[in-house]
Chain A
Amino acid sequence: MVPYSARRQLVGRAIGLGLWLSLFLAAAALCDLSPEILRQGLGKAPHFAREFLPPLWATAEEMVEPLLSTLALASAASLLGMLLAFPVGLAAAANIVPTWLRLLVRILLGAERALPEILQLLFFVVALGLGPFSGMCALAFSSIGMLGKLVGDAIEEADDKVLESLKATGASFWQVIRYGLLPQVLPSLAANALFRFDVNVRSSVVLGAIGAGGIGAEIARSMGMLQYNRATMAVLGSLILIYAAETVSGQLRRRLLEHGR
């Protein structure tokens, strides 16, 4: 018996492709994906180009304050996230805490990561009202979710021998953590926090549109008032902010790698 048949392979692939295609067509129908709507929308393209472009350069100065606000929001959330991620990560590490606690923390972290940020923001707004504070809390919360898991994993993968030898010299629990764990975990935590900062800057723009203020709110407001080229200016500003944030965090991450700290 020959263990190869091009025909069988072909039939298998054809069936698979057919299934996929039918699922896709069904999904597309549900999403109102149709060539007519596409053509209609594309037909409006030149009209759009006129409405959205050129960006309203005159409003550039007005954009600075919202941009700074967004930056402050993202930075505060990232800092808080980084600071609180360490204790949370500790509570999520198998080699530090009892199993029940680790399980509970891991489940909470998993649940947090499963929910979209915007949904989390809604809850914070119910508690704290609209405004940058709830935005910052929501972002910090999701930052802790991501960073906490990473720290927990890093602690679990840490070199146990170092911790053992520290314990053997009579160090207390917190001393073991400070001198044994912290140096091992801190470099990757810092690098991840910087990465999270990039993500947070983007998210701050989005959350801003639902009430967290900053440049996102500016974009939404301009769109709402149909001042499309003002909105484009705001978007341009946010792009510059995102790019600047990425560059700075990239540089810092590279320095971190070089220093090995």
Chain B
Amino acid sequence: MMWPSQNARRMWATVATFAAFLGGFLAYLNVEPLAVLFQGQHLQNLFRDVFPPRLAVLWERSGLWWSVVETLAMAFAGTTLGLAFALPAGLAGAANTTPHGSLRAAVRFLLSLERALSSFFILMVLLIAFGLGPFAATITLALGTLGGFGKLFAESLERVESAPAEALAALGASRSQQICFAVLPQAAPALVTGSLYAFDINLRAAIALGIFGAGGLGAELLLAYNTLRYHDVLALALVSLVLVTAVERVSDFLRQRI
């Protein structure tokens, strides 16, 4: 139990260090936050140009609802594609289901490599290769899902209790039967939860990638932004918010049912 004064000194020292670092970073970036904050006109700009949201854009632009559908389609297709490969990758990458130990190591390595690559760069490359549009975004999402959830799936499979699979082995079941009847049923809730989570993430990402040029709601946002229609931007942002939240609620509901 330390004396309060010593503890307090330590705490202030830490805070001071943090503040020093923060100041250093900001200075490096040539940023003068204090000046900016005190000017305050920036906040005024924001409120004047952005509020209130021009909800009229929702019925004026007929293509808007279509772009929402497009965004959902990108997220769904990307997630499905990614999961279709993530599941076998998970099976190959889990110690209790992989046909060969070195396969497990190879798959894990490839997956971590894939995760390290920023999806932003993958998107850039794909946009150049396949042109602007949802194709590049969908593939980017699929690859991202594969990297992230391949690992998650492998870990969920490994975390399963080994006793039932062992019992099946003892009564003569083959390896594939052990996986099918003991490992997979136990891992199923985790896999389904993971898949729903993947869809949530990919929906957000689909909007973001749209801003980069892939189409859908993001593209509408970018268009409004570039044409300085900031009230529309806010309205569309609210649409995004509603969309993401609605999907989140639905996934939560589905998760309970599993």
Q: Do any beta carbons of A and B sit within 8 angstroms of each other in the complex?
A: yes
User: Are A136 and B31 in contact, CB atoms less than 8 angstroms apart?
Assistant: yes
Is residue B175 contacting chain A, with contact meaning CB distance below 8 A?
no
User: Are A33 and B138 in contact, CB atoms less than 8 angstroms apart?
Assistant: yes
Is residue A6 contacting chain B, with contact meaning CB distance below 8 A?
no
User: Are B134 and A79 in contact, CB atoms less than 8 angstroms apart?
Assistant: no
* B118: contacting residue among A48, A126, A131, A202, CB under 8 A: A202
A77 to chain B, nearest CB (A): 9
**Which partner residue on chain A sits nearest B135 by CB separation?**
A32
Contacts of B4 in A (CB 8 A): 179
Pick from A8-16, A56-64, A109-117 the stretch touching chain B: A109-117
User: Are B134 and A119 in contact, CB atoms less than 8 angstroms apart?
Assistant: no
CA distance A74 to B257 in the complex (A): 40
Question: Beyond A72-B28, A133-B36, A206-B118, is A31–B138 a contact (Cβ under 8 Å)?
Answer: yes
A237 to chain B, nearest CB (A): 12
Is residue B179 contacting chain A, with contact meaning CB distance below 8 A?
no
Is residue A97 contacting chain B, with contact meaning CB distance below 8 A?
no
User: Are B118 and A242 in contact, CB atoms less than 8 angstroms apart?
Assistant: yes
CA distance A251 to B25 in the complex (A): 22
User: Are B31 and A48 in contact, CB atoms less than 8 angstroms apart?
Assistant: no
Question: Beyond A23-B76, A119-B221, A206-B120, is A41–B130 a contact (Cβ under 8 Å)?
Answer: yes
Is residue B33 contacting chain A, with contact meaning CB distance below 8 A?
yes
Is residue A50 contacting chain B, with contact meaning CB distance below 8 A?
no
CA distance A115 to B208 in the complex (A): 9
Contacts of B28 in A (CB 8 A): 68-69, 72
Main secondary structure of the interface of A (DSSP, over half): helix
Is residue B184 contacting chain A, with contact meaning CB distance below 8 A?
no
User: Are B22 and A126 in contact, CB atoms less than 8 angstroms apart?
Assistant: no
**Which partner residue on chain B sits nearest A220 by CB separation?**
B124
* B241: contacting residue among A45, A111, A133, CB under 8 A: A111
Question: Beyond A119-B237, A122-B221, is A48–B129 a contact (Cβ under 8 Å)?
Answer: yes
Is residue A173 contacting chain B, with contact meaning CB distance below 8 A?
no
B205 to chain A, nearest CB (A): 7
User: 15 new A-B pairs (CB below 8 Å) besides A73-B29, A115-B244, A116-B211?
Assistant: A28-B77, A31-B73, A37-B130, A68-B28, A83-B22, A114-B240, A115-B204, A116-B240, A123-B46, A128-B36, A132-B29, A133-B33, A205-B118, A216-B120, A231-B124
B7 to chain A, nearest CB (A): 8
Contacts of B21 in A (CB 8 A): 75, 79
A-B contact count (CB 8 A): 161
Is residue A26 contacting chain B, with contact meaning CB distance below 8 A?
yes
The 4 closest A-B pairs by CB, nearest first: A116-B208, A76-B25, A27-B73, A30-B73
Contacts of B225 in A (CB 8 A): 122
Contacts of A131 in B (CB 8 A): 31
Q: Which of A23, A31, A178 has the most CB of B within 10 A?
A: A31
* B120: contacting residue among A133, A205, A213, CB under 8 A: A205
User: Are A133 and B31 in contact, CB atoms less than 8 angstroms apart?
Assistant: yes
Contacts of A20 in B (CB 8 A): 80
Question: Beyond A33-B138, A122-B233, A123-B50, is A116–B129 a contact (Cβ under 8 Å)?
Answer: no
